Amino acid sequence: MKLLLLLTLVAMAQGLGYRVPLKKAKSLRQMLRERGLLESYLKQHHFNLAAKYFPSRISAEPLQNYLDNEYFGTISIGTPAQEFTVVFDTGSSNLWVPSIYCSSLACSNHNRFNPAESSTFISTNESLYIAYGTGSMSGVLGYDTVTVSTIEVLNQIFGLAETEPGAFFYYTPFDGILGLAFPSIASSGATPVFDNMMMQNLVAENLFSVYLSKDEQSGSFVLFGAIDPFYTTNGITWIPLSAETYWQITMNSVSIGGKAIACAFGCQAIVDTGTSLLAVPERALSVILSVLGASPSGQISCRAASRLPSIVFHINGKAFPVPPSAYVIKSNGYCTLGFQGMDVPTESGELWILGDVFIREYYVIFNRATNMVGLSRLP
């Protein structure tokens, strides 16, 4: 509140035409520092203050943290722009939003794209179907201008949802999904948004990076075309991809208290911003819950939860710990562990999904130029 009042007073003074002699004027940075508000302001407005130092073709898309469960931002499609909230999902590759043709209940309470109101829309006769871990959609494909933050992508192919069966998407706080994985897993061969950003030379570097805030705080973002050094003070560990499908990497093992308890002979993992929890093979889940003293459903007393050890993911010869403060979920006086069971075998071994529970501990760089994932432990 104090920060808001200070900024309001500054804005009012400027708007009313007050002019303070230059020699006596204090900068906004000085005023914020004197009131102990500078650090808070920098965290919330980092890109605004640094924008003049950024080269062109770098753009930050702010994300809203919804209950530490989902992170989504606002994009626009068409001319004039029609706005939609979308999950920026590194676990899929298609962009789709609800359309006016959708008759499902899930579309009734979300924004719907109207192609007749866009002068740049191009229709196709191609169909689209996508099944996620929770929920599915089907519809048709079209082309239009898609704007993400300050980046305008021309002739972007996207899905216009006509059916969204079931209840899952009805209750989501976002309209659609923007996939950031590789073209090889895109349904109907659609070119992903980031691939078009690269091909149209809209990003300074062929990479994007992600910061997800904790405890429902603001400040989450996807940064297109750059790595923000503000979040990499602990250095970056680069991990080569094991497949150019999802952002898939090889894990060496998973340990608790210095003892390997799962993935002892190596396994596969994908770094997925679109998955809330840590998804692990059922057999490994049973071992983890037993070692941590939780019930088969993942419940644990909050008192016991406060004394739990870190879970350490060993990747590319380095250790990446996730403390109990990250993987214990507290709600209404109860505590559960942020794991879910999932069996998806791959040619290279069992598959784990490092979802938001893991990502919140690290600044993650998704590098298409080198086909690597970079991880930097957040301070």
Residues marked as catalytic:
89, 272
**CA separation for the pair 354, 158 (Å, rounded):** 27
Nearest to 301 by CA among 335, 328, 337: 335
Question: 374 pairs with which residues across the strands?
Answer: 238, 365
Which backbone phi and psi does 147 adopt, to 5 degrees? -110, 120
**CA separation for the pair 356, 318 (Å, rounded):** 20
3-state secondary structure the chain: CHHHHHHHHHHHHHHCCCCCCCCCCCCHHHHHHHCCCHHHHHHHCHHHHHHHHCCCCCEEEEEEEECCCEEEEEEEECCCCEEEEEEEECCCCCEEEEECCCCCHHHHCCCCECHHHCCCCEEEEEEEEEECCCCEEEEEEEEEEEEECCEEEEEEEEEEEEECCCCCCCCCCCCEEEECCCHHHCHHHCCCHHHHHHHCCCCCCCEEEEECCCCCCCCEEEEECCCCHHHCCCCCEEEECCEECCEEEEEEEEEECCEEEECCCCEEEEECCCCCCEEECHHHHHHHHHHHCCCCCCEECHHHHCCCCCEEEEECCEEEEECHHHHEEEECCEEEECEEECCCEECCEEEEEECHHHHCCEEEEEECCCCEEEEEECC
Token readout for 363 is 């600044």
**CA separation for the pair 161, 166 (Å, rounded):** 14
